[in-house]
């Protein structure tokens, strides 16, 4: 029988935006993260930040080509991981309409 319990998924993602992980991509990331039930963490320089909290992400100053780790846990973790990876990999992330 297949284990269907939620799993913690992690993926290292490189920031592609030439201006780094600034306000617009942070807002797009939080908005995307809020669409999922899973818990979302963004790990940068050894510190974990709540991916659904703009307040916490304000502390992340990841520059272009910096690597961050996405950690997602919950019932929709695979979908969340795939979507959030796309947001971080965009060169000009904007808030989806």
- Give the model's pLDDT for residue 97: 47
For each successive 10 residues of the chain (97 residues), what is the average pLDDT? 75 93 95 98 98 98 96 96 93 56
- Give the model's pLDDT for residue 42: 98
Radius of gyration of the chain (CA): 13
Report pTM: 0.87
**Rounded to whole angstroms, what are the CA distances from 11 to 1, 2, 90, 95?**
27, 23, 16, 22
Domains of the chain: residue spans and CATH:
8-13+20-89 (3.30.1340.10)
């Amino acid at each position: 029988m297949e284990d269907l319990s939620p799993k913690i998924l992690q993926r290292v993602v490189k920031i592609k935006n030439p201006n780094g992980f600034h306000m617009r991509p942070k807002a797009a990331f939080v908005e995307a993260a809020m669409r999922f039930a899973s818990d979302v963490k963004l790990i940068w320089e050894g510190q974990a930040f709540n991916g659904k909290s703009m307040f916490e992400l304000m502390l992340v100053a990841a520059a272009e080509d910096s690597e961050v780790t996405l950690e997602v846990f919950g019932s929709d973790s695979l979908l969340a991981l795939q979507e959030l990876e796309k947001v971080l990999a965009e060169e000009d992330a904007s808030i989806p309409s």
